[in-house]
Amino acid sequence: MSLPPSLWAELAPPAPACPPLEGETQADLVIIGAGFLGLSTALHAAQAGLDVRLLEAAQPGFGASGRNTGFVVPSLKSGLGPAETRALLGDTHADRLLRLVAGSGDAVFDLIAQHGIKAAATRSGWLQPGHSAEAEKRLLLRLPDLRDSGVDAAFLDRDEMRARTGLPGLHGGLRVASGGQLNPLAYARGLARAVIAAGARVHGETAVTAMTPQGKGWRVTSAKGQIDARQVLLTTNAMVGVLCPRMRQSIIPVKVYQVATQPLPAEIRARLLPDGAPVADTRRHTFALRWSEDHRLLTGGMALPLPGRAHRARRRFIARIAGFAPDLPPLEAEYLWSGTIAATLDALPRMIRLEPGLYGAIGCNGRGVALATALGRAIAGLMSGRTAEADFPLPVTPPRVVPFSRLSGLGPYLWLPWSELRDHIDAHPNRKANT
Ligand SMILES: Cc1cc2nc3c(=O)[nH]c(=O)nc-3n(C[C@H](O)[C@H](O)[C@H](O)COP(=O)(O)OP(=O)(O)OC[C@H]3O[C@@H](n4cnc5c(N)ncnc54)[C@H](O)[C@@H]3O)c2cc1C
């Protein structure tokens, strides 16, 4: 399976050789799915001394990991601050997860430095402006709690935020210094090289078709091979398909488009996001903007599944950039691609025990560049026995099926118009009062 065309596919260095699995073999740990989560777990588990095989249906970075916006965001979804996380997880797990998230930007940039990964990565900080005066206030109130949990966040007032972004409609908000941006496909391919160098085997073009109990572990089967392993971990994210219905039913798949404009001149780069820090606001349907390494603007979002969807997404997201940054020349979407996010109802990731020795991790909710990297390191601790389940940052639970999971794919399309209306009302409160 080849990667769909995207800006990242154009710019990333080639993938390392990952020959398909053939014949019968054994391993300590089999990981299914070579996105950031599978790659990071494989790397850290191999470094901990496990004999690891990473099996990927296509090639490393084929899923959301090679198709995202490349924001390195040391934070959970914007509605999930420390207080909300504690209310959902309880203090013990919440404190551990918040610490993991606070260090997740460093986890990415440290790996890149350690393994010499060429991924156009910049630790430029990450900006989160409010989309309304109310949202700005909420971010300011959240600041002390974020700092207590280890996040290196600072508050920028409206004028500072506008000066840092060149975007006149934004409110004040947060700057998290350990965030930044990268080319996500290049990062995934660089991680795959690091995994191989650490002694694990990565098999591309190896779709796993079955997992069956075998002795004290599991037999994992693909078209041309099989592996017996003590432990198996599914990191198939939203692409889990028919392999494991219980994992599929535990998330809501959300299709998200990305557009990249034509390259823009230095004069515009000097006034729009001038320090190169990516920006993502607090809107429910987030407005996000960044520069690519070849000087294009990137943004994206969801589009309703109506006829001409891709064409409408192209026009809509270009118009969205122009709406936020009015003084730009006419923009064209030279690239358009899409990927699928695995969302959970509470926006928290899940560590799932399907059966003894058979695990799944899923639900990075659009925050997986940093979160999946850091979570992979923690999961490797669990798989190698260095971390006890009781000390893991998330509760290890059976899968929690999303209610009406067969219809859950429709949920985001009911959510979208409602959310955009609420975002609009938030951003124009006086207009609401006058109508
Ligand atoms: C458009 C878009 C924009 C995003 N922007 C950002 C962002 O800017 N910042 C951020 O932090 N997060 C972002 N995200 C979220 C982030 O990309 C994901 O959270 C992260 O990539 C998930 O990584 P993963 O390893 O869990 O899954 P994936 O990268 O989806 O990997 C799953 C892999 O499993 C493989 N697989 C599936 N079934 C099988 C099988 N049976 N056998 C073998 N292999 C199999 C797939 O081929 C795939 O490669 C975005 C997501 C999307 C879609």
Q: What is the pLDDT of residues 281-340, one digit of tens each?
A: 999 999 999 999 999 999 999 999 999 999 999 999 999 999 999 889 999 999 999 999
Q: What is the pLDDT of residue 90?
A: 97
Residue 314 lies inside a defined structural domain of this protein: yes
Q: In a mutational test of the pocket of ligand 1, which residue from 8, 236, 251 has the highest number of ligand atoms less than 8 Å from its CB?
A: 236
Instruction: Report the CATH number at residue 258.
Output: 3.50.50.60
pLDDT tier at 403 (50, 70, 90 boundaries)?
confident
Residue 415 lies in a domain: no
pLDDT for position 224: 97
Handedness of CA 190, 196, 199, 202 (dihedral sign): positive
Quick check: CB of 89 below 6 Å from ligand 1? no
Atom 48 in ligand 1: residue holding the nearest Cα: 63
For residue 380, is pLDDT > 50? yes
235: in domain = yes
235 and 31 Cβ atoms separated by less than 8 Å: yes
CA distances from 365 to 8, 38, 280 (A): 21, 16, 15
Residue for token digits 């987030």?
A: 286
> Which of 206, 257, 364, 375, when mutated, tests ligand 1's pocket best, judged by the most ligand atoms within 8 Å of its CB?
364
Q: Is 235 in the pocket of ligand 1 (CB under 6 A)?
A: yes
337 Cα: distance to centroid of ligand 1 (angstroms): 14
- The whole-angstrom separation of Cα 114 and Cα 308 is 45
206 occurs within a structural domain: yes
Instruction: Count CB neighbours of 269 within 10 A.
Output: 16
- pLDDT score of 326: 87
Pairing between β-strand 358-362 and β-strand 333-343 as defined by DSSP bridges: unpaired
In a domain, 433, yes or no: no
pLDDT at 68 over 80: yes
The per-residue pLDDT for 431 is 63
Question: Domain limits at 316?
Answer: 7-407
User: Within a 13 Å sphere around the CA of 78, how many CA atoms are in the beta-carbon half?
Assistant: 23
CB of 208 shorter than 6 A to ligand 1: yes
Count structural domains, the chain: 1
The length of the chain is 435
Q: Which atom of ligand 1 is nearest to the CA of 55?
A: 43
**Are the beta carbons of 358 and 218 closer than 8 angstroms?**
yes
CA–CA separation, 152 and 337 (whole Å): 33
Please give the mean pLDDT across all residues of the chain.
Answer: 95
Question: Which residue, among 312, 263, 319, 261, has the nearest Cα to 287 in the 3D structure?
Answer: 319
Backbone angles phi, psi at 84, to 5 degrees: -65, -35
Q: What is the pLDDT of residue 369?
A: 98
424 in any annotated domain: no
Find the mean pLDDT for residues 374-380. 98
Q: Is residue 200 very low, low, confident or very high in pLDDT (cuts 50, 70, 90)?
A: very high
pLDDT band at 435 (very low <50, low <70, confident <90, very high): very low
Give the CA distances from residue 294 to residues 264, 304, 316, 318, in Å, rounded to whole numbers and listed in that order.
Answer: 9, 30, 22, 18
Q: What pTM was estimated for this model as a whole?
A: 0.96
Q: Please give the Cα distance from 57 to 20 (Å, whole number).
A: 9
How far is the C-alpha of 347 from the C-alpha of 235, rounded, in Å? 17
pLDDT score for 433: 42
Q: Could you tell me if residue 432 is inside a domain?
A: no
What integer pLDDT is reported at residue 353 of this predicted model?
97
Q: Is residue 293 part of a domain?
A: yes
